[in-house]
Amino acid sequence: MDVKLGPVIDFHAHHPNEPDFADRLVDLLPQAGIDTMCLCSAGAAFGHAPNDAILRAAQRHPGRIVALALIELGKDPPALVDEYAAQGYRGFKITDPRGPYDQEAYFPIYERMERTALPLLAHTGILMRTRMAPGRRVNSRWMRPVCLDAVVRSFPGLNVVGAHLGVPWHEEASMMARMHPNYYVDLTGAWWGGWRANKSADFYRYHFFWEGAWDKVLFGTDILRLEELLPAKRLHDELIEQLGLPDQAVRNIYGNTAARLLARQPCRIE
């Protein structure tokens, strides 16, 4: 791209359960043109590393890796939010809840998150299939973007990033970003044929039509394997070039907005 970028922050990437993944990832970042990776786990069912392994990776590579702590809704107690914040995690991740995101039983978790001022990355949309534990239920409807509507209204100091533009509930996701100053989205999806690889630039222009819309979009790759990084970044770069956005909007997408959220700056309530 011709735009002079500031620090490039990948706000949404995963850490597989491989002991040397983070070290190899950091070595590859200059080639990808990425300065900082926010890594998180979606749980053992997805083959991801546990929270503590991701935190250790961030401690080995300060400034290059940022650790987001997975909170399992319906299992983890609210006090765990404070423990993770004290340990040095820079944000939180939720996915695959035991009930809808807006279930009242989860509100004490969100309240604790709001107090920390750390951002929350939430899976939104269809969840990939994995082997389910006995007695577990997975319901993608519980992770629709609109299930976060009551959350961001009730906790206006909690910045929430809805992943994957809520696929297939794209318009729901973009309207959430338009209506709520503390709701953001990323456009992550499989580079090799996922939803975003099959959408034109006009699709994104349709969904992000209002003034300042692109300030609500964060760059992310959603990688799990190292070999996914370069093609995922290339796909995102090609999309941004096709859109022909103003330079400042591009800088915000690639890092400025993420940096503000990670710095615990409050959302802009209008």
Q: What pLDDT is attached to residue 132? A: 64
Could you give all domains of the chain from N- to C-terminal order, each with its CATH number? 9-128+136-262 (3.20.20.140)
Nearest to 97 by CA among 115, 67, 133, 122: 122
Q: What are phi and psi of 71, to 5 degrees?
A: -110, 125
Instruction: Supply the pLDDT for residue 267.
Output: 45
| The pLDDT of residue 265 | 56
Question: Do residues 8 and 14 lie in contact, with contact meaning Cβ atoms separated by under 8 Å?
Answer: no
Q: Model pTM? A: 0.94
Low-confidence ranges of the chain (pLDDT < 70): 1, 130, 132-135, 265-270
142 contacts 101 by C-beta, under 8 angstroms: yes
Task: Provide the token pair at 122.
Answer: 């939430």
**pLDDT for 136:** 73
**DSSP3 helix / strand / coil % (the chain, rounded to 5):** 45, 15, 40
Token pair belonging to 149 = 């509507």
pLDDT at position 133 is: 65
Q: Is the separation of the CB atoms in 175 and 148 below 8 Å? A: no
Distance CA 87, CA 251 (A): 30
